[in-house]
Amino acid sequence: MSLVKEVDYGTPAAKSEKTVTINVDGFDVTVPEGTSIMRASMEAGIQVPKLCATDMVDAFGSCRLCLVEIEGRNGTPSSCTTPVADGMVVHTQTERLKKIRKGVMELYISDHPLDCLTCAANGDCELQDMAGAVGLRDVRYGYDGGNHVKTRQNGEENPRYMAKDESNPYFTYDPSKCIVCSRCVRACEEVQGTFALTIEGRGFESRVSPGMHENFLDSECVSCGACVQACPTATLQEKSVIEIGQPEHSVVTTCAYCGVGCSFKAEMRGDELVRMVPYKDGKANRGHSCVKGRFAYGYASHKDRILNPMIRENTSDPWREVSWEEALRYTADKFRSIQAKYGKAAIGGITSSRCTNEETFLVQKLIRAGFGNNNVDTCARVCHSPTGYGLKTTFGTSAGTQDFDSVEHTDVVILIGANPTDGHPVFASRLKKRLRQGAELIVIDPRRIDLVQSPHIKAAAHLALRPGTNVAVLTSLAHVIVTEGLFDEAFIRERCDWDEFQDWAAFVSDPQNSPEEVERQSGVPAETVRKAARIFARGGNGAIYYGLGVTEHSQGSTTVMAIANLAMATGNIGRPGVGVNPLRGQNNVQGSCDMGSFPHELPGYRHISDDATRDVFEKIWGVKLDDEPGLRIPNMLDAAVEGTFKGIYIQGEDILQSDPDTKHVAAGLAAMECVVVHDLFLNETANHAHVFLPGSTFLEKDGTFTNAERRINRVRKVMSPKNGFADWEVTQNLARAMGLDWSYTHPSQIMDEIARTTPSFAGVNYDLLEREGSVQWPCNEKAPLGTPVMHIDGFVRGKGKFVVTEYVATDERTGPRFPLLLTTGRILSQYNVGAQTRRTANSAWHKEDLLEIHPHDAEQRGIREGDWIRLASRSGETSLRATITDRVAPGVVYTTFHHPGTQANVITTDYTDWATNCPEYKVTAVQVTPSNGPTEWQVEYDKQAEQSRRILPRVDAAE
Amino acid sequence: MSATETTEEISVRVGTICDGLAGLEGPLLPILHEVQEEFGFIPEGALQTIAKKLNLSRAEVHGVASFYHDFREEKPGRHVIKICRAEACQSMGADDLGDHAKRKLKVDWSETTSDKSVTLEPVFCLGLCACAPAAMVDGKVVGRVNKDRLDRILSEVGS
């Protein structure tokens, strides 16, 4: 294995279809029109010396190192800023150029420390490389004059010297090494879109400044690391590289955080991870990353990680470390005896959206073939199950329609119930780039998210609706589009069922669905809705992106169908730049749904009652499958409380923290006889577990993740599992202990089985993924290289189906006792229940969950910034600190659920989506009152948690 | 402006300036000029207000404001004397003239006298090379400045 070195072409690729041929140093090279001479030369294999150019950002022309001579032209233009022209003859190395370059390098080096041997970038420094490339041997100016390098000069303090900024937990800024190439500033602006950096001052005083001469942590910086990646020297350097040294080999893999599915190079020294560097060929992220993916991997080696299997008879006992054999034997016997006593259906399992496709496939196979029932569910139950239902009903597939590249062709974006800058940061950066190029944005969200307004971004309309009124607002948008004749009749007639459209059109045209009527419920001014509808319908390519603010409602499935209706009515399906795009929360939530994690569906979204589909699996698995759908998570818990469900295998999910109505979940778990938690940490669910099977991280196994754009990305093992086994091996060993005859030796064999049984994966295998990097399903005979955009010539289900979306308000209502509406979300630096990110330095940004409350509501209640408050709903109460902000409207409060101490889900109710049981996290009527600190429940909970995490000291058997 | 003006009051005044000029193409520089005109300098917090109003980042506004030496971070003296230190003026004795001014006013470049009467600033070319050494007193250019002439100017401005 060696270090994957990606070629830096110096400037971004030109997109023109017209080509131009030039001659560089005697070699002809043909490139798209608009390519820079620098890039064209690199494509011919000739590297022009450069410092300020890198292909992630536009050419800048400031370092004066990349000068070339062009026959017939005067002077020495910079090759990065000069585009190619047909017939151009370029010389990159002439006596004149060599002299100029040497002179430029001399100036750079005259104000740069000469500590190369002890510098963290030694071996990975472009300044060092260029000094070598131009043959610098001497610096005539000496090092005694004004400089930024020495702390003291002529016996006095050097006023130009600035100490290192170490405020960011992951990287340092050492101004003394800065050559002011602006690559960091431009990466922050062009790639990340945050504009947190600038060059302050001018001339010799110029230097990089985060914010207004602030330190990195206090500035607007979001720690995505694009600047660190862009820096050609050690000025911006990962602390891990400073501590460990340069990596010697790297492996391309896929991030295990959100559903964007960024590709990274895991750069290693031995079996030690030195750093994660986004991979430019990664088709989801195109070389960019966020703070989580790039930096927050420390949880993999955190001291809290459990590496040995453990069991206990009662959850009040301390844990006892045992061998893998004993743990698996114990589990298998328990499960079998439960089934003997309470029936086959008394056990079940939950697959993980954090684990690979292969692992998920095995867990559902274990349940269906081994447990002999269909009691399998997954955390998508609590996030995107309405997406599956809604898009399957309207379009015929349970997934988003586009790839992420599609956003580059979008003219108008509707963003509903998603906060991409926090939840899907790399997609947000790509979206912001498109918005800066002129695309319009309509935000439908109760909260003023960053994309409503942030530097260089301003939404054309913000529909700040009351939580719970999504359906009404979307229907009112449709009302405007239909009544004003803005729909795409040709598209609808060709691609959809015209009669159904007419029924739908009649429904939305009803005056009770007009923006003026809906305004009473939603609080969104009718004029804003009308404006937004016109922009979307007339604006060109219209794309809809949405998140859990759509699905986690009692009308989640209705809202998804309302979105689909809107896209079909405006003809925005089936080409780049348009579509319906669910932003999936977890790395493999798409994959876990694809892999048959739902109780009623076999892999590929085929109903369990379908004889032909069952037959395929029965033949290969050699068992008879139950044709009745099994229990969903909430039903399993209900059944447990009733005493008919007794055992559960939970892989990589913390239902106690992430599922609604914590007390009910706890009661369900407590009523079971054998709860098996397979995870990295003793999570909250494990407080009620009898068996703990240690899990492996994404760094420790092979497999695939499927991201929000249906892209199947390879996950590659970069180190051996610290716990001894990859998760797929653990599941296989459990299956064997239960008497199943499994003998997979590599996840690729599992993928082959998936391909054999599942038509949308028929063409997928590891060789193809190796060759192509990644593919988007469906990948089969019809689409051997996958399908970036779906429904191109027609909908998967045949004709697109318009569904009448009657608005049925939730039963959860505000009243005198609970006058406020609570909605929930997440924050950039933390991820989901925080099991991973809380165990990294990301906590520097978000130490605790806070309740956002409008100044008006806060004043009425006598609440000041930072006060402890009691948050109570009909379900329960908890305490946390308040922060006062006008991001939320009066009457609405907001919090995150990253910290178990907060227990936000003690508050949420058990109302769920009518079609899929997806819980209504986004609307809870609450009251907020001042308090002194944590509630009794929180104190009690902490005590119980601490009690249940005790592990007996290991007693080694005497020889 | 009173000495006790709060950050909020400053922000309101800066905001009004922004509102008046935000419609211009490239409004940042005109706004910075207007703010300096209004306050005599760019008060702390003004940049944040401007950034918010123009939908720019704090960093960007700081980058622009710090690029131009004419934008001051502190309130200047009642009078501002700028002495040209560019090549032509240097060749005609501007350095001596500068030293003389510094001695006389007991300040260094870009400092204000303790009685707040005069701020001394360097400037690089006033376009008066033919009449070097040149200076600028409260916005008016003065040519062929020698020590005597400078003393006269200083006494006129009360220092």
* Domain hosting residue B98, numbered range: 79-156
Is position B143 within any domain?
yes
Residue A186 distance to chain B (closest CA, Å): 12
What's the token pair of residue B64? 């622009």
pLDDT (tens digit, 9 = 90+) per residue, A689-702? 999 999 999 999 99
Supply the DSSP string of A389-433, one letter for each residue. Answer: HHHHHHTSSSS-SS-GGGGGG-SEEEEES--HHHHSHHHHHHHHH
pLDDT at residue A379 in the model: 85
Residue among A797, A893, A816, A811 nearest A854 (CA): A893
Q: Same structural domain for residues B152 and B87?
A: yes
User: Cα(A134)–Cα(A126) distance, rounded to whole angstroms?
Assistant: 12
Our CA angle for A876, A882, A883, nearest 5°, is 145
> Does the beta carbon of B62 lie under 8 angstroms from any beta carbon of chain A?
yes
Is position B21 within any domain?
yes
Is position B73 within any domain?
no
Give every CB contact of residue A203 below 8 A, 6+ residues apart in sequence. none
Q: What is the rounded average pLDDT of the residues B141-149?
A: 93
DSSP state of A760: G
Strand runs (DSSP E) across A556-667, as ranges?
Answer: 579-582, 601-602, 606-607, 647-651
Q: Same structural domain for residues B98 and B62?
A: no
> Does the beta carbon of A213 lie under 8 angstroms from any beta carbon of chain B?
yes
Q: Same structural domain for residues B140 and B90?
A: yes
The fold for domain A19-133 equals Ubiquitin-like (UB roll) (3.10.20)
Partner residues linked to A251 by β-bridges: A266
User: Cα(A300)–Cα(A722) distance, rounded to whole angstroms?
Assistant: 9
Is position B119 within any domain?
yes
User: How do the domains of chain A map onto residue ranges?
Assistant: 19-133, 152-301, 310-383+588-735, 393-581, 820-947
Is position B72 within any domain?
no
Q: Same structural domain for residues B61 and B90?
A: no
Residue pair A849/A897 in contact by the 8 Å Cβ criterion: yes
Query: CATH assignment of A152-301, given 3.90.650.10, 3.40.190.150, 3.30.70.20, 3.60.70.12?
Result: 3.30.70.20
User: For residue B6, what pLDDT band results from cuts at 50, 70 and 90?
Assistant: confident
Do A393-581 and A820-947 share a fold? no
CB contact residues (below 8 A), chain A span 879-918, against chain B = none
Q: Same structural domain for residues B142 and B90?
A: yes
Q: Do B55 and A456 touch (CB under 8 A)?
A: yes
> Does the beta carbon of B56 lie under 8 angstroms from any beta carbon of chain A?
yes
Q: Which of B28, B43, B67 is the last residue of a domain?
A: B67
pLDDT at residue A144 in the model: 84
Q: Same structural domain for residues B142 and B89?
A: yes
Q: Do A212 and B55 touch (CB under 8 A)?
A: no
Residue pair A90/A22 in contact by the 8 Å Cβ criterion: yes
What's the token pair of residue B2? 């009173």
Residue pair A143/A149 in contact by the 8 Å Cβ criterion: yes
What's the token pair of residue A7? 């070629």
| Dihedral sign computed on CA atoms, order A414, A419, A424, A427 | positive
The residue ranges of chain A whose pLDDT is under 50 are 958-959
pLDDT (tens digit, 9 = 90+) per residue, A644-659? 999 999 999 999 888 8
What's the token pair of residue A804? 């009448």
In this structure, what CATH number is given to the domain that contains residue B147? 3.40.30.10
Q: Which CATH architecture has domain A310-383+588-735?
A: 3-Layer(aba) Sandwich (3.40)
Residue to test with chain A: of B49, B55, B60, most A Cβ within 10 A: B60
User: Cα(A473)–Cα(A480) distance, rounded to whole angstroms?
Assistant: 11
Q: Which residue has the tokens 């002809």?
A: A28
> What phi, psi does A646 have (nearest 5°)?
-125, -15
pLDDT at residue B3 in the model: 52
Residue A225 distance to chain B (closest CA, Å): 17
Q: Same structural domain for residues B101 and B131?
A: yes
Q: Do B56 and A195 touch (CB under 8 A)?
A: yes
Q: Do A219 and B66 touch (CB under 8 A)?
A: no
E strand or H helix at A820, and its extent? strand A820-825
Residue to test with chain B: of A186, A194, A198, most B Cβ within 10 A: A198
- Largest interatomic CA distance in chain A: 92
Chain A residues touching residue B59 (CB < 8 angstroms): 195-198, 209-212, 219-220
Q: Which residue has the tokens 């944590």?
A: A934
> Does the beta carbon of A453 lie under 8 angstroms from any beta carbon of chain B?
yes
DSSP state of A253: E
Across the interface, of A201, A210, A453, the residue whose CB is closest to B67 is A201
CB contact residues (below 8 A), chain A span 476-535, against chain B = none
Q: Same structural domain for residues B59 and B92?
A: no
User: Cα(A614)–Cα(A607) distance, rounded to whole angstroms?
Assistant: 9
> Does the beta carbon of A218 lie under 8 angstroms from any beta carbon of chain B?
no
Residue B151 distance to chain A (closest CA, Å): 32
Query: CATH assignment of A393-581, given 3.40.228.10, 3.50.50.60, 1.20.120.1200, 3.90.1150.10?
Result: 3.40.228.10
**In what order do the strands lie in the sheet containing A440-444?**
A461-463, A440-444, A412-416, A542-546, A579-582
Q: Do A220 and B58 touch (CB under 8 A)?
A: yes
> Does the beta carbon of A204 lie under 8 angstroms from any beta carbon of chain B?
no
Q: Same structural domain for residues B99 and B58?
A: no
E strand or H helix at A929, and its extent? strand A924-930
The SS3 of residue B142 is: strand
Q: State yes or no: pLDDT of B1 exceeds 60.
A: no
User: Cα(A81)–Cα(B74) distance, rounded to whole angstroms?
Assistant: 39
Residue among A692, A669, A38 nearest A326 (CA): A692
The fold for domain A820-947 equals Barwin-like endoglucanases (2.40.40)
Query: For strand A207-210 and strand A197-200, is the pairing parallel, antiparallel, or unpaired?
Result: antiparallel
pTM of the entire structure?
A: 0.93
User: Cα(A447)–Cα(A463) distance, rounded to whole angstroms?
Assistant: 9
Q: Same structural domain for residues B88 and B51?
A: no
> Does the beta carbon of B57 lie under 8 angstroms from any beta carbon of chain A?
yes
Residue A185 distance to chain B (closest CA, Å): 10
User: Cα(A736)–Cα(A85) distance, rounded to whole angstroms?
Assistant: 67
Q: How many domains does chain B have?
A: 2
Q: Do B55 and A453 touch (CB under 8 A)?
A: yes
Residue among A516, A518, A505, A540 nearest A803 (CA): A505
Q: Do B57 and A194 touch (CB under 8 A)?
A: yes
Q: Do B59 and A457 touch (CB under 8 A)?
A: no
Strand runs (DSSP E) across A604-683, as ranges?
Answer: 606-607, 647-651, 674-679
> Does the beta carbon of B60 lie under 8 angstroms from any beta carbon of chain A?
yes
E strand or H helix at A766, and its extent? helix A766-772
Q: Same structural domain for residues B19 and B88?
A: no
Cα end-to-end span (Å), chain B: 24
Q: Which residue has the tokens 């170490």?
A: A166
Q: Same structural domain for residues B99 and B62?
A: no
Query: For strand A457-458 and strand A453-454, is the pairing parallel, antiparallel, or unpaired?
Result: antiparallel
The SS3 of residue A877 is: strand
Residue A212 distance to chain B (closest CA, Å): 5
Chain A residues touching residue B57 (CB < 8 angstroms): 194-196, 198, 211, 220, 455
Is position B2 within any domain?
no
pLDDT at residue A723 in the model: 94
